[in-house]
Amino acid sequence: MAQNPLAVPTVLEESEIQRLLLSGYASLPYGQIFLFTIHDSARFSDWLEQHSLDLSYGGPTAAHEHSRLNLAFTYAALELLGLPSTTLEQFPLEFQQGPLSPRRLRILGDTGSSSPSEWHWGGPDDPEVHLTLLLYAKDLTILEKREKELSFHTSGLKLIQKSPAHLDPEHKDHFGFKDGIVQPQLRERSPRGPAENILPSGEFILGYHNAREEYPASPSVQDRQDPDHNLPEHRATPGAKDFGCNGSFLVYRQLKQNVTEFWDFLENKAAELPEKEKDATWLAAKMVGRWPSGAPLTLSPDQDDPNQLEGPNDYFSYAEKDPDGLRCPFASHVRRSNPRDALYPNAALSTQFTRLHRIIRRGRPYTLGEEKGLNFLCFNADIANQFEFIQHDWMNNPKFADVLYDESDPISGYQDPKHPELTHNFSIPGKPLRTRVSGLPRFVDVRGSAYFFMPSRKALHFLISLQNRKTPQSAW
């Protein structure tokens, strides 16, 4: 029987999807994130063709994987590499504009000590970011060897920055808290755990249905613009080819963590608390919403208990276990970045709503000289409705969860330098009285920011084929 090419896929085409989307490479703890400008696109295409086999896609894993490589392009790079203008204009506005545009800076709260003049890369006077290469390895020797083998000197690329991305043995961030615990499970890929945490793949990967049971917007290419038939049929636009299918948007933010300020501030504030058993670690855990081991405050409110940590299945209900935030404050980082079933008007609607605003996180810590921070990386199919929504509507918003009105996310929220009274507070609900911490400085500052598109295997071959063509784009 002939297969209907437009049938809604129920299984992920893993061998088409760059592997970082499907795996955090926990068995490859050493990493390097490269940022480049393409200064010679013809040379770059040759180099890319030569190294395209080095890239890692989903599918069966070799028994002993030693290293993995993935890549993603900014909008400026896709333009430079000759993607048809009719395709480029179908990319979402936020990807076209990039995080440096005044509108996106406002949305993300990248002002004051996080404004682009403070960034190490991606700022107005810096070279234009085109490409990120993400290299992961089992040990440092393999990492260095792989970097040499990539022979960047012949690539037509100019290095902007190289950031180490090594996992801590306990997967802790620089504040000392276990990170990367809860990740959405993909419906089209043998998901595990509670139904609330199982998401349709189209929330993160183009070419599959999303939580609205619709295809996320995916840029198409006209049939005649793909004479080599590199691209698959467009599932939502019959007759066209799909450039986006099996690709995803990658947000990269270099977030500097002010570790000494964080702990000094908490020591001072803890000293003011009447109960002596409530120390700086207790305050920090209230701000994160988890203890340093990762144990959630919702399940273990009084002390750290690693036994309470269930990994990706750690998807408990706030509405059921902690409706008043007495265990895990409404203002905590985890409750703001994913409120689950705790939002107005009820648990069912809140669960449905928060499903539209999830991300797959792939961040790893960095140390660059004296600076410590998080290479924040996340995947989503719709940057405006997912990453930007979380940062703007939940983390930066002084009004949140119907009970907060003058505070932002204590870990990575916006701090208004002009109106500190609006964002510098943190409330811990309690009975009979809440605890209020005020005068919070910004513990995390942005030091670089870019939006990338991570193409599928087929889309990458299509991009390479553009450089080999004789016909100028204007003749299409």
Q: Which is nearer to ligand HEM, 376 or 379 (CB)?
A: 376
Residues making up the chain, counted from first to last: 476
Nearest-approach distance from CB 338 to ligand HEM, in angstroms: 3
How would you class 370 by CB atoms within 10 Å of its CB: exposed for 0-12, middle for 13-18, buried for 19 or more? exposed
Cα distance between residue 82 and residue 243, in whole Å:
13
Number of residues that bind ligand HEM (CB under 6 A): 27
Nearest-approach distance from CB 288 to ligand HEM, in angstroms: 5
Q: Which amino acid is at 145?
A: K
Nearest-approach distance from CB 446 to ligand HEM, in angstroms: 9
Closest by CA position to 352, among listed 341, 361, 363: 341
391 in contact with ligand HEM (CB under 6 A): yes
362 in contact with ligand HEM (CB under 6 A): no
The residue from 288, 360, 404, 466 that contacts ligand HEM (CB under 6 A) is: 288
The residue from 38, 390, 404, 460 that contacts ligand HEM (CB under 6 A) is: 390
Q: Please report, as residue ranges, which positions from 368 to 387 form the binding site for ligand HEM (by CB under 6 A).
A: 374, 376, 387
Q: Which is nearer to ligand HEM, 288 or 466 (CB)?
A: 288
DSSP H stretches of helix in 171-324: 259-271, 280-288, 318-321
Q: Which is nearer to ligand HEM, 98 or 232 (CB)?
A: 98
The residue from 37, 248, 338, 350 that contacts ligand HEM (CB under 6 A) is: 338
Q: Which is nearer to ligand HEM, 82 or 180 (CB)?
A: 180
Nearest-approach distance from CB 193 to ligand HEM, in angstroms: 12
Binding mask 426-455 toward ligand HEM (x if CB under 6 A, else -) reads ------------------x-----------
DSSP string, 102-119: HHHHHHHT--GGGSGGG-
- Beta strands 198-199 and 185-186 are parallel
Nearest-approach distance from CB 439 to ligand HEM, in angstroms: 20
Nearest-approach distance from CB 185 to ligand HEM, in angstroms: 12
411 in contact with ligand HEM (CB under 6 A): yes
Q: Which is nearer to ligand HEM, 230 or 298 (CB)?
A: 298
Q: Which amino acid is at 29?
A: P
Closest by CA position to 17, among listed 463, 455, 329: 455
Three-state SS for 162? Answer: strand
Nearest-approach distance from CB 264 to ligand HEM, in angstroms: 17
Cα distance between residue 99 and residue 449, in whole Å:
6
DSSP string, 295-320: -BTTT-SSS--GGG--GGG----HHH
Q: Please report, as residue ranges, which positions from 65 to 104 form the binding site for ligand HEM (by CB under 6 A).
A: none
Binding mask 165-194 toward ligand HEM (x if CB under 6 A, else -) reads --------x-x-xxxxxx------------
Closest by CA position to 239, among listed 250, 228, 248, 226: 226
Contact region for ligand HEM (CB under 6 A) — 276-284, 334-342, 430-438, 449-457?
A: 334-342
Two structure tokens written together for 469: 């063509």
Q: State the DSSP H helix or E strand holding residue 101, giving kind and residue range, or none if neither.
A: none
Two structure tokens written together for 108: 């993300």
254 in contact with ligand HEM (CB under 6 A): no
Cα distance between residue 335 and residue 354, in whole Å:
11
Cα distance between residue 219 and residue 234, in whole Å:
9
- Rounded to 10 degrees, the C-alpha dihedral 84/77/50/72 comes to -110
337 in contact with ligand HEM (CB under 6 A): yes
**Given the rule CB under 6 A, which residues bind ligand HEM?**
173, 175, 177-182, 255, 257, 288, 290, 294, 333-334, 337-338, 359, 374, 376, 387, 390-391, 395, 411-412, 444
